[in-house]
Structure 1
Amino acid sequence: MKPIYHFEKAKFLSLSSLQQHNAFINILRHLEEQACLQNLSPELIEMVEKMANWMDIREFGSLEGASPRDLALAAADWLIKNDRPVRDEDIPIYQRDGEAWGLQKRESASQMVVILSSLRSAFNTGSIFRTAECLGIAELWLCGITPKPGERALEKTARDTVQRVKWRIFDNTRDAVSEAKAQGRTIYALETAGTARQVFTMEYQFPNAIILGNEALGIDKAILDICDHIISIPVQGWKNSLNVGVAFAVCAYQMIWGCSSAPN
């Protein structure tokens, strides 16, 4: 059986210009993916060279000796200039390539839950799923209007991590905080409040729960009042806060890798 990227010259040249363009885009996407996965075949590289020559695309005139990284970047560069804007799900990523960095770090992450307090964006929620899976965090608790797994934008951004992270649904954030307290967790609210301590100077206790608030409204004051600690990320630019998904990643890595107390 011929591979999907195989073309004979006469057949390729009989295609319309648009069909040739689309065929070349498809093969470059395949080249980028396979190069990132270190799974390139000589036949694929040869076919890219031939198609580029038939279309007089000089950037791919000779690929002999190029490393997989160079091939992936060359394909990505051409696609950026000639294809639609890249989406997150278009970018190939390694699967199961995480490293074990010690039992204490893994134990710390396993004693954390993240409470999402009525987040608005499915993209942010998906990003948080992905970060939580990378770190080995125990659970995500989805409160209020926070988007739920099954939403297309969330699933795309999470990149196949939804099935690998435990999650629960709560009608409201107060119920989630009450549950966390009943489990003996120290509650940290990530918020830009005036009384907040920097995430980099706090000594964290485990087990714990970290609350993330709505992108525009933040965390309700009534919830802040029942938290053990309020923490924030220092900024020194025009904006006073980071995107919630980015802020969570910064905070979570600090809680696990920074100046935290070892779990019991």
Structure 2
Amino acid sequence: MYSERKFLALAQATQAKRFAELLRILILQLGNDISQVKSEYTQYANWLKFPAEKNLDGKNQTELIELYKEFRTEAGLGFERDVYLENEPGDRTESVLPTIPYGVLVHNLRSAFNVGSIFRTVDCLGLSAVHLSGYTPDISHAMLKSAARGTEKWVESKRWNSPLECIRFARENGYAIIALETGEGSVPIQNVEWPKNALILLGNEELGIAPELLNECSLRVEIPMAGRKASMNVANAFAILAYAIRSGYRF
């Protein structure tokens, strides 16, 4: 944090850049020191005697984004898509292909960015739904929305009190239960004959899928690793799985 003398001595564009950096942290809820970020912004705003419309008080997410864009412009910075871009050139109002009856259950994923990426993959590869449980972030989370690029608005989603409740509902409706998980008993992704309907289970970034959930699965699928690491990022792994399903699915 700057002292008052040093901050006021900065060029206006540099001041604006710092305000934009602080707003980016607030919008995306980055880190654990959000209160400190708000305090720093407010201190600088007081030194510059900002009008009310540039203060944080009462600002909703949309208003914070507009203020962020204003500071980016003042700083001479370009388009910053991670914060406020939802509709991109080439986006369509309707899907190109019909969706396939494959949902994904995202249980106890910490990273909102990973969950948002999963939403985007579900849309791009034409799967049907995202199911959330445990401490997986909700679709209102700013980082999730940033990664999802608006897909959370139209991809079907539901939050369940228990992952087992979701799994049992899917099974009762004729869905196979597929775990994306490495280890004994897992079938390499290239050898799978995909069922007509399925619910895909994804596990925690560090711990994987809990044993009681694995016991509910009719099939375990893995992506063979060619390098030294034994596993990959969950959102990336899901994208590979979703592509394999879409490519191999027979209508």
User: Do the two structures share a fold, i.e. TM-score over 0.5?
Assistant: yes
Is the 8 Å Cα contact of residues 106 and 132 (structure 2) preserved in structure 1? yes
Distance 2:94 2:247 in 1: 14
Partner of residue 189, structure 1: 179
Say which of 226, 234, 237 aligns to 2:227: 237
Distance 2:150 2:109 in 1: 20
SS in 1 for 2:191: coil
Partner of residue 88, structure 1: 82
Distance 2:116 2:161 in 1: 19
Summarize the Cα distance change of 1:21–1:152 in structure 2 as closer, same or farther, 3 Å threshold. closer
The structure having more radius of gyration, on CA atoms, is 1
Partner of residue 27, structure 2: none
SS in 1 for 2:145: helix
How many residues get paired? 184
Summarize the Cα distance change of 1:171–1:21 in structure 2 as closer, same or farther, 3 Å threshold. closer
Partner of residue 62, structure 1: none
Partner of residue 7, structure 2: none
Distance 1:22 1:93 in 2: 26
Residue 256 of structure 1: how far off its partner (Å)? 1.1
Q: Deviations over 1:1-32 (max 9, x none)?
A: xxxxxxxxxxxxxxx96549979xxxxxxxxx
Is the 8 Å Cα contact of residues 187 and 227 (structure 1) preserved in structure 2? yes
Summarize the Cα distance change of 1:130–1:194 in structure 2 as closer, same or farther, 3 Å threshold. same
Quick check: 1:162 aligned with 2:152? yes
Partner of residue 115, structure 1: 105
Say which of 197, 219, 229 aligns to 2:209: 219
Is the 8 Å Cα contact of residues 188 and 227 (structure 1) preserved in structure 2? yes
Partner of residue 170, structure 2: 180
Distance 1:83 1:194 in 2: 51
Is the 8 Å Cα contact of residues 98 and 134 (structure 1) preserved in structure 2? no
Say which of 117, 122, 127 aligns to 1:132: 122
Q: RMSD value over aligned CA atoms?
A: 3.0
Distance 1:100 1:180 in 2: 24
Partner of residue 206, structure 1: 196
- Partner letter of residue 208 of structure 1? A
Partner of residue 66, structure 2: none
Q: Structure 1: state its 5+ residue gaps.
A: 1-15, 24-81
Residue 95 of structure 1: how far off its partner (Å)? 4.7
Is the 8 Å Cα contact of residues 120 and 145 (structure 1) preserved in structure 2? yes
Percent of aligned pairs sharing the same letter: 32
Summarize the Cα distance change of 1:215–1:20 in structure 2 as closer, same or farther, 3 Å threshold. closer
- Partner letter of residue 96 of structure 1? D
Q: Structure 2: state its 5+ residue gaps.
A: 1-9, 18-75
- Partner letter of residue 222 of structure 2? S
Partner of residue 147, structure 1: 137
Distance 1:171 1:100 in 2: 30
Distance 2:227 2:128 in 1: 33
Distance 1:136 1:221 in 2: 29
Distance 2:94 2:186 in 1: 33
Distance 1:250 1:196 in 2: 16
Is the 8 Å Cα contact of residues 126 and 246 (structure 2) preserved in structure 1? no
Residue 136 of structure 1: how far off its partner (Å)? 2.5
